[in-house]
């Protein structure tokens, strides 16, 4: 004879688990090739501009004398413009903001392109120097527009 089976009811005992307090920290790191190039161009422009201002001096007219810096003619006015462009590029390069990098690099490229097409005597800018800046700024703009910013996230958990 077959006996009816009774359902098995599992017995569950409640246990208490006390979680140890922990400290969680997250770190985000970004890398942008456009930002790296922007900072390098910013340093180059700021140094060139500072050397031009120091060599040309500010006690007389700012468009005279014309001095040579790294083989390129400069005046104090051009030096101040380069310092300003360098500060802008440094600010957006360190912020790693793609929109800011794109805007400032296009601004610098257009200004250098205007100087290359129609050189201004007061600046004493050489076409080859202006074209060099156009190429560098256009490369930064292209990288900012096309290459994504790379993100890396790390999480660290440690007991307190």
Instruction: Kindly list the domain boundaries of the chain, sorted by start residue.
Output: 33-146
Closest listed residue to residue 155, CA positions, set 20, 21, 28:
28
pLDDT of residue 71 exceeding 90, the answer is: no
Reported residue count of the chain is: 160
SS3 content of the chain, % helix, strand, coil (to 5): 50, 15, 30
Per-residue pLDDT band at 114 (split at 50, 70, 90): very high
pLDDT of residue 13 exceeding 90, the answer is: no
Q: Which pLDDT does position 17 carry in this prediction?
A: 67
Q: Which pLDDT does position 84 carry in this prediction?
A: 94
Q: Give the global pTM.
A: 0.73
Q: Which pLDDT does position 125 carry in this prediction?
A: 84
Per-residue pLDDT band at 104 (split at 50, 70, 90): very high
Residue tagged 């005046």 (tokens): 75
Q: Which pLDDT does position 90 carry in this prediction?
A: 95
Give mean pLDDT, residues 54-83. Answer: 86
């Amino acid at each position: 004879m077959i006996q009816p089976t009774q359902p098995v009811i599992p017995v569950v005992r409640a246990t208490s688990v006390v979680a140890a307090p922990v400290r969680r920290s997250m770190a985000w790191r970004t890398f942008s090739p456009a930002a790296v190039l922007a900072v390098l161009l910013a340093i180059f422009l700021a140094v060139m501009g500072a050397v031009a201002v120091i060599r040309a001096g500010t006690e007389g007219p700012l468009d005279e004398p014309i001095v040579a810096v790294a083989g390129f003619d400069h005046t104090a006015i051009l030096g101040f413009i380069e310092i300003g462009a360098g500060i802008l590029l440094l600010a957006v390069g360190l912020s790693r903001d793609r929109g800011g990098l794109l805007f400032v690099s296009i601004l610098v490229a257009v200004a250098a392109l205007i100087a290359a097409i129609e050189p201004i005597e007061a600046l004493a800018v050489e076409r080859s120097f202006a074209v060099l800046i156009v190429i560098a700024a256009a490369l930064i703009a292209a990288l900012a527009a096309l290459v994504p910013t790379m993100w890396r996230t790390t999480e660290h958990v440690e007991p307190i």
